[in-house]
Amino acid sequence: MTPVMIRAATPADVAAMHALMYELAVFEKLTDLFVATPEGVHDALFGARPASEAMVAERDGRIVGYALFFHNFSTFLGRRGLYLEDLYVQPSERGSGLGTQMLRRLAALAVERQCGRFEWTVLDWNQPAIDFYQKMGATVLPEWRVVRVTGNALEQLATEPAASR
């Protein structure tokens, strides 16, 4: 088997990354929420004000995995952190060590950038991922919950006076 090359994503990778993002939505049973477009992904990664960065894993000229990440900030640490939005490896590549390589590369980047933490979320039903992350030294924080406002609720929150809530 040809070795995998992990490298920074380029604009030429956007279509392949978008296809893998959809594969991730299928895996997570969340296709009804998937509205991302290649144009939006391109803008987020390479537009005038990039919101995120990505690395891809390539084997034989084909993108077989990706990691999309960005910086957040911890007021308690007084330092930025690295937040992993997505880590996806195609099923045919799972178990090959690719996920481990990508996580290690991201951890090294966080250390290089002097980040105070490296974090991400995982679905509570995805026990193989939870086990993998814990094996890598991560701690799953059961006392924290993701809070999200999206769609009409976001519009409403942005426009309604506080007294009407």
pLDDT in tens, 119-149: 999 999 999 999 999 999 999 998 998 898 9
CATH of the domain at 103: 3.40.630.30
Please indicate whether residue 83 is annotated as part of the active site. Answer: no
pLDDT in tens, 2-47: 899 999 999 999 999 999 999 999 999 999 999 999 999 999 999 9
Q: Which of 66, 83, 88, 133 is catalytic?
A: 133
By DSSP bridging, strand 118-120 and strand 53-59 are: unpaired
User: What is the per-residue DSSP string for 99-157?
Assistant: HHHHHHHHHHHHHHTT-S-EEE---TT-HHHHHHHHHTT----TT-------HHHHHHH
Range of the domain at 104: 5-164
Q: Count of domains in the chain?
A: 1
- Global pTM reads 0.91
pLDDT in tens, 42-101: 999 999 999 999 999 999 999 999 999 999 999 999 999 999 999 999 999 998 999 999
